Amino acid sequence: MISTSIILHIFPIFDTHLSNWYNYTINYLETGDLMIEYNNKRYVCHLDLAMDLIRGKWKSVILCHLNEGPKRFLELQRLVSGISQKVLNQNLKQLEDDGLIFKTIYPEVPPRVDFQLTEMGKEIFPALDLLERWSLKYFSDLQ
């Protein structure tokens, strides 16, 4: 059964670096469940939305390396051992689309590209650090 929703609020969010407006809506489904819609995806809560931005094997690792400063593509590929060029490219694109990182393309021959955290990306890093410390506390004996 497809449930229709009633939109309660539409919140425009302006990403200053990307100069884009994103709408996210809070929907109240006929079932009485509250849903958040962001970039055409539905989430059960804001934590679900935040976790989706960093979900996956590589995104948090990439963000941790970029927290140290801007990195070029090949430098990131060397730092994130085990990631293929295709997967790194996909993850960087997703992180850029979600506003956590931005890339700077320098008008040089050959072109030079740097990736770095946006303000939003910098603000999520303490949460990643806390998750890492939690994991070390409870799983430090694992190799």
**What pLDDT is attached to residue 26?**
53
Q: How far is CA 97 from the centre of its chain?
A: 8
CATH number for 56-139: choose from 1.10.10.10, 1.20.1250.20, 3.30.230.10, 1.10.540.10.
1.10.10.10
What strands lie across the sheet with 5-15, from one edge to the other?
5-15, 20-29, 34-38, 41-43
Look at strands 41-43 and 112-117 and give their pairing: unpaired
**What pLDDT is attached to residue 9?**
42
Maximal C-alpha separation, the chain? 57
pLDDT 10s digits, 38-66: 878 888 888 888 999 999 999 999 999 99
How far, in Å, CA of 125 to CA of 128, rounded? 5
Does the pTM of the predicted model rise above 0.85? no
Which of the residues in the chain have pLDDT under 50? Answer: 1-23
Q: How far is CA 45 from the centre of its chain?
A: 16
Mean residue pLDDT across the chain: 81
